[in-house]
Amino acid sequence: MAYGLTEEQRMFQTMVHRLAEERVQPRAAEIDATGEFPWDMVDLFRENGLIGVGMPEELGGGGADLLTFCLAVEEVARVCATSSLIIAAQHLGAMPILIAGTPEQKAQFIPAVASGEKLSAFALTEPEAGSDAGGTKTHAVRVGDQYRINGTKVFITNGGLAKTIVVFASTQPDAGVRGISAFIVDGEQPGVSVGRVEKKMGIRGSQTAMLNFDDVLVDGDRLLGKEGDGFKIAMRTLDRTRPGIAAQALGIAQGALDVSYRHVQTRRQFGQALGQFEAIQFMLADMQTQIEASRHLLYKAAEVVETAGFDTVSSSEVTRFSAMAKLMCSDTAMKVTTDAVQLLGGYGYIQDYPAERMMRDAKITQIYEGTNQVQRLVIYRNMDMER
Ligand SMILES: Cc1cc2nc3c(=O)[nH]c(=O)nc-3n(C[C@H](O)[C@H](O)[C@H](O)COP(=O)(O)OP(=O)(O)OC[C@H]3O[C@@H](n4cnc5c(N)ncnc54)[C@H](O)[C@@H]3O)c2cc1C
């Protein structure tokens, strides 16, 4: 049984693989070139039950385990990283509610996100609080039964498109991370506005924007968990979503290997196909090996993280595996896509071939949901030296 996948998981993987080849791949270069958010891909994923595939069935999702969710992201990323981010970002925006929401909050907000009727977003990063989320300046002040939120978030995936946004804001500014709280905010409510929409190196069809919150009033029942739980909720969320970014990275790497392997079979120099030169074979062998090692770590991590379900507490094993998978798969994606460009020579560097897009797309996987330096800090702090 390849990678220990169940029969059901393998059938699902084949279904997504075909869909990606037939319906996503033909759009990938255009999405990258125009930089426009691909609503047709949202529709495609809604029609095929992929947009909320990892969300609970009773809330309108696909009820898939984390590994199955990762298979979906991986297969789509293999041909188009931007499109795979639609699935991963939807999961990220829903996760704080799935982890910390009351049954009423879940029933109110998850079904529309799980069906794709509304896009979601996770708004943690700020101009002065990136890797150090404890520096959060956005604040929420209690006013009677409501909270008034003020502040600015940057680099928010789906910013300006998402109607369900989980916003992290300090309710006790002198308490650092222990003063951060999480709120569910409606993207269309008064006081929420979109600032700069970023122009990016890669994942160019994904919308990344600044969001301003000016005297945004939310009812008390929009608070997730208790006041001060926000940082914990954010970290638990990332424990459960980093495997999705690892899957995106792995898919990009596999796509780059597919492209470069095919290229060297037919491109001839010095009287023979490039693939007949040992130096080229060695590069491809290394790429394949790095991908296989990354895939095994990711699938193992998905299994470990799945055991934690949507609990509000993660074991150090869950946190460590999640970070290790993201670190390894994204470093592999960067290495393999760079080598793919090299294997295509000048053709790797021009936009008529997908290798350069894959290399640009790979870079973000080393940066978002915590940079890879941050993953190393997380892994070190959760190391298991008992054995
Ligand atoms: C396309 C895109 C989409 C994004 N989507 C979202 C989103 O949906 N929601 C959201 O909240 N955020 C999002 N982000 C933000 C992203 O998570 C942050 O950019 C990232 O966490 C890094 O923060 P920063 O950019 O402020 O970099 P900084 O924190 O300023 O880091 C700069 C460099 O210093 C390194 N560094 C920082 N601290 C340490 C340390 N202690 N030890 C060693 N090295 C360190 C970093 O690793 C990095 O290399 C997105 C970003 C991008 C570019």
The tens digit of pLDDT for each residue in 240-293 reads 999 999 999 999 999 999 999 999 999 999 999 999 999 999 999 999 999 999
- pLDDT of 387: 67
Task: Among 231, 368, 379, name the best residue to mutate to test ligand 1's pocket (greatest count of ligand atoms within 8 A of Cβ).
Answer: 368
Residue owning tokens 């039964």: 145
- pLDDT of 229: 97
Options 2.40.110.10, 3.40.190.10, 3.40.50.150, 3.40.50.450; CATH for 120-224 is: 2.40.110.10
For residue 122, give the H/E element and its range. strand 120-123
Length of the chain: 387
168 lines ligand 1 (CB under 6 A): no
* Intervals of the chain under pLDDT 70: 1, 387
In sequence order, the β-bridge partners of residue 143 are: 146
pTM of the entire predicted model:
0.98
- pLDDT of 313: 81
| Domain ranges for the chain | 2-114, 120-224, 230-381
- pLDDT of 295: 98
Q: How many CA atoms lie within 13 A of 380 on its CB side?
A: 6
How far is it, in rounded angstroms, from Cα 291 to Cα 249? 10
Phi, psi of 218 (to 5 degrees): -125, 145
**What one-letter code names the amino acid at 26?**
P
Longest CA–CA separation in the chain, Å: 80
Which atom of ligand 1 is nearest the CA belonging to 121? Answer: 8
Q: Give me ligand 1 centre to Cα 283, in Å.
A: 31
In the DSSP assignment, the letter for residue 203 is -
Phi, psi of 315 (to 5 degrees): -80, 165
For residue 333, what are the CA distances in angstroms to 79, 141, 198? 13, 43, 23
Phi, psi of 49 (to 5 degrees): 65, 30
Q: Which CATH class is domain 230-381?
A: mainly alpha
In sequence order, the β-bridge partners of residue 272 are: 269
- pLDDT of 161: 98
Span 2-114: which CATH code? 1.10.540.10
How far is it, in rounded angstroms, from Cα 140 to Cα 235? 20
In the DSSP assignment, the letter for residue 220 is G
How far is it, in rounded angstroms, from Cα 268 to Cα 347? 13
- pLDDT of 310: 82
156 lines ligand 1 (CB under 6 A): yes
The tens digit of pLDDT for each residue in 300-330 reads 999 999 988 887 788 999 999 999 999 999 9
